[in-house]
Amino acid sequence: MCGIIGYIGHQNCVPIILDGLQRLEYRGYDSAGIALIEDGKFFGLKQAGKVSELAAALKASGVSHTSCLGIGHTRWATHGEPNDINAHPHYDCREEIAVIHNGIVENFGSIKTRLTRQGHTFRSNTDTEVLAHLIEEMYAKSHDLCAAVRLALAEVEGTYGLVVISVHEPDKIIVARKGSPLLIGVGDGENFVASDASAIVDHTRQVVYLADGEVAELTASGFRTMTIDDVAVEKEVEEVTFELAQIERGGYEHFMLKEIHEQPETIRNGMRGRLQVEEAEVVLGGLRDVKEKMLNARRFIITACGTSWHAGLVGEYMLEQIAKIPVEVEYASEFRYRNPPIMPDDVVLCISQSGETADTLAAMREAKRKGATVLGIVNVVGSSIARESQGGVYIHAGPEIGVASTKAFTSQLTVLALITIMMARAKGMSKEDARVLTRELACVPDKVEHLLQNTDLVRTVAEEFKDTSNFLYLGRGANFPVALEGALKLKEISYIHAEGYPAAEMKHGPIALIDEHMPVVVVVPKDAIYEKVLSNIQEVRARKGRVIAIANEDDTEIDKLAEFVIRVPRTYSYFGPIINVIPLQLLAYSIAVARGCNVDQPRNLAKSVTVE
């Protein structure tokens, strides 16, 4: 979602801010803006479009800006269309206070009505602008920027990652957080604020993660943190461990392609030090303290959004079939408002790449409030879900920049497989039986590597179908969620309408859509329900649908039924989704490229959705 960066120190902040915004652009990107304080006055520029366009406009303005204090923002519209006026920063009436904000001010309507009555003039349709005017009101009373921000926020309902600067106090940046990620980058004679460490990791690796309800005042030489009620808070400085190279494209045309090809390594990283193949054991340090609770759990509830939710659906098959644990999988956005009965012996597993998805975080808090044990399966270290959960497992996929999630999904599945084996063993699965699983799981990265060595056919299929307007994806069992994920990938980045369906359920509706123009992707590995899926393929063929099969390398029957057969290595059926999804990621990618779409930054989507 929206990206935030701010700088105060001794260097020219403009290149630091523009570079940071570029790195944040993947999170949300319909408009961008910057505000600097120069010679005691604001210079601001904001407009719809990409950060590169903002940079060009800044250059074209002809002024050489050398300010040492500035803030920048990339926006993903929630309130008000993405145009120049609605872009951040927003200012108060006299243009003496500038704010950038991620999140939503839920009571902005009533605040705006009141302030308008009091004589404030609003320029935009955003909820954010009320913050600038509210702070203006409070500053008139307190004559202290930090106090004014705190007083203003006391009236605000909703979420914020907020950054405020003012010409009244041109030597500080005030920041505040509730529900939207924000961190301070600690430098030497300089300090940063950002919504994501990737924006500042070029300059410092020392960061302080703000918690909800915390406010900080940054100067060039230091910072102090407090609660919104002005109680001082001591914060720990933490070290960011990822490398800059991990958030660069490294020779690939797109981040998504790079991330698809990283999968042998990222899957391996998820297992490293955890999977003891010959001992047939799994060691997950982050679950040690809650393992007893997990063993005694009545059921697991998995909650997540988007691709992570699909991972949860595969996890349901793994945990139920292998570890014999009853599992329910819930959309976090539904779960949080459904008021579901939750018992203290429920274990709630929250899956999230970013660890910041607002709905997943809220679902987790709700489950925790009701007494369940809440655990996280998260990629971003130090993220909100990681910090607020009672235990969990990092997937160690490294930064994922492409908006369409790929490597995070296969790493989530890997971790779910690890948890499954750990639980199965603890519940009495024999070492011999478990060893079959650990050996097979250990082979998955090599199989993925092998698969990625020859992707020509996927490109041929993409060329053949790039102009179609509909796609159907079918799968059964643990590969039903793979069909859902394949369809999601395609619609996200190519804007082709695609539906994922359980193969046998097709005849209850989607079959009406099938004719000689309809491509139908069927995930059909040689497992216990292989023959059943072949029957479903026959149903498609009988209506002249064009079948693209994702099938095992040793499958000789499938050629007679499918127009295209994309081969995948065979593995244990419940680990199959880790491999089978990869050609679907590549197919979506290749079609999107063939259609000239912006693969890494698809329209309307955001990488990390921090509003509900």
Shortest distance in whole angstroms from residue 357 CB to ligand G6P: 3
Stretch 331-350: interaction string toward ligand G6P, x if CB under 6 A: --------------------
User: Which residue in 357, 390, 552, 590 binds ligand G6P (CB under 6 A)?
Assistant: 357
In the residue annotation, 2 being an active-site residue is answered as yes
User: Which residue in 98, 132, 294, 305 binds ligand G6P (CB under 6 A)?
Assistant: 305
Number of residues binding to ligand G6P, judged by CB under 6 A: 16
The C-alpha angle with vertex 320 and arms to 319 and 325, in degrees rounded to 5, equals 80
Does position 610 interact with ligand G6P (CB under 6 A)? The reply is no
- What is the Rg, in whole angstroms, of the alpha carbon atoms belonging to the chain? 25
Give the CB-side neighbour count of residue 292, counting CA atoms within 13 A: 1
Contact call for residues 386 and 394 (beta carbons, < 8 A): yes
Query: Could you write out the DSSP letters of every residue in 327-385?
Result: EEEEEHHHHHHH-----TTEEEEEEESSS--HHHHHHHHHHHHTT-EEEEEESSTT-HH
User: Which residue in 102, 352, 384, 494 binds ligand G6P (CB under 6 A)?
Assistant: 352
User: Which one of the spans 243-251, 255-263, 269-277, 353-361 is the region binding ligand G6P (CB under 6 A)?
Assistant: 353-361
Q: How far apart are CA 144 and CA 140, in angstroms?
A: 9
Shortest distance in whole angstroms from residue 608 CB to ligand G6P: 5
Token pair of 46, please? Answer: 């904001």
User: Which residue in 263, 360, 389, 552 binds ligand G6P (CB under 6 A)?
Assistant: 360
User: Which one of the spans 105-113, 195-203, 272-280, 403-411 is the region binding ligand G6P (CB under 6 A)?
Assistant: 403-411
Torsion of CA 530, 536, 537, 543, to 10 degrees: 170
Q: How far apart are CA 258 and CA 267, in angstroms?
A: 14
Question: Which residue minimizes CB distance to ligand G6P?
Answer: 306
Produce one character per residue of 77-116: b if its CB has 16 or more CB atoms within 10 Å, e if not.
Answer: bbbbebbebbbbbbbbbeebbbbbbbbbbeebeebbeebe
Does position 403 interact with ligand G6P (CB under 6 A)? The reply is yes
Phi, psi of 480 (to 5 degrees): -65, -50
Stretch 431-470: interaction string toward ligand G6P, x if CB under 6 A: ----------------------------------------
Token pair of 562, please? Answer: 């499918």
What is the three-class DSSP state of 401? coil
**46, 50, 178, 607: which one is catalytic?**
607
Contact call for residues 441 and 275 (beta carbons, < 8 A): yes
**Interface positions, 67-96, toward ligand G6P (CB under 6 A):** none
Does position 354 interact with ligand G6P (CB under 6 A)? The reply is yes
Q: Which is nearer to ligand G6P, 561 or 605 (CB)?
A: 605
Q: Which is nearer to ligand G6P, 218 or 247 (CB)?
A: 247
Cα distances from 574 to residues 99, 315, 345, 437, 507, in angstroms, run 49, 9, 26, 10, 25
Shortest distance in whole angstroms from residue 117 CB to ligand G6P: 38
In the residue annotation, 172 being an active-site residue is answered as no
User: Which one of the spans 208-216, 468-476, 570-578, 603-611 is the region binding ligand G6P (CB under 6 A)?
Assistant: 603-611
Residue that is written with structure tokens 């490229």 in the block: 593
Residue that is written with structure tokens 């961190």 in the block: 183
DSSP state of 406: -
Contact call for residues 75 and 86 (beta carbons, < 8 A): yes
Token pair of 346, please? Answer: 């429920």
**2, 13, 350, 597: which one is catalytic?**
2
Stretch 404-423: interaction string toward ligand G6P, x if CB under 6 A: xx------------------
Does position 207 interact with ligand G6P (CB under 6 A)? The reply is no
Q: Which is nearer to ligand G6P, 360 or 389 (CB)?
A: 360
Shortest distance in whole angstroms from residue 581 CB to ligand G6P: 13
User: Which residue in 20, 306, 481, 577 binds ligand G6P (CB under 6 A)?
Assistant: 306
Shortest distance in whole angstroms from residue 554 CB to ligand G6P: 33
Beta strands in 275-325 (DSSP E): 275-276, 281-282, 299-304
Phi, psi of 55 (to 5 degrees): -60, -40
Q: How far apart are CA 481 and CA 502, in angstroms?
A: 8
Q: Which is nearer to ligand G6P, 139 or 473 (CB)?
A: 473
Instruction: List beta partners, residue 470.
Output: 497
Q: How far apart are CA 362 and CA 335, in angstroms?
A: 9
Residues for the chain: how many in total? 612
Does position 308 interact with ligand G6P (CB under 6 A)? The reply is yes
User: Which residue in 211, 342, 594, 605 binds ligand G6P (CB under 6 A)?
Assistant: 605
Cα distances from 251 to residues 31, 245, 259, 261, in angstroms, run 27, 11, 12, 12
Amino acid at 368: K
Shortest distance in whole angstroms from residue 552 CB to ligand G6P: 28
Q: How far apart are CA 436 and CA 575, in angstroms?
A: 12
User: Which one of the spans 62-70, 96-104, 306-314, 444-452 is the region binding ligand G6P (CB under 6 A)?
Assistant: 306-314
Q: Which is nearer to ligand G6P, 191 or 354 (CB)?
A: 354
Does position 609 interact with ligand G6P (CB under 6 A)? The reply is yes
Q: How far apart are CA 226 and CA 208, in angstroms?
A: 13
Shortest distance in whole angstroms from residue 379 CB to ligand G6P: 7
Shortest distance in whole angstroms from residue 394 CB to ligand G6P: 13
Q: Which is nearer to ligand G6P, 150 or 310 (CB)?
A: 310
User: Which one of the spans 29-37, 157-165, 333-341, 352-360 is the region binding ligand G6P (CB under 6 A)?
Assistant: 352-360
Shortest distance in whole angstroms from residue 566 CB to ligand G6P: 23
Q: How far apart are CA 525 and CA 592, in angstroms?
A: 26
Shortest distance in whole angstroms from residue 446 CB to ligand G6P: 26
Does position 608 interact with ligand G6P (CB under 6 A)? The reply is yes
User: Which one of the spans 117-125, 143-151, 388-396, 402-410 is the region binding ligand G6P (CB under 6 A)?
Assistant: 402-410
Q: Which is nearer to ligand G6P, 278 or 334 (CB)?
A: 334
Q: Please identify every residue annotated as catalytic.
A: 2, 607
Residues found near ligand G6P in the complex (CB under 6 A): 305-308, 352-354, 357, 360, 403-405, 605, 607-609
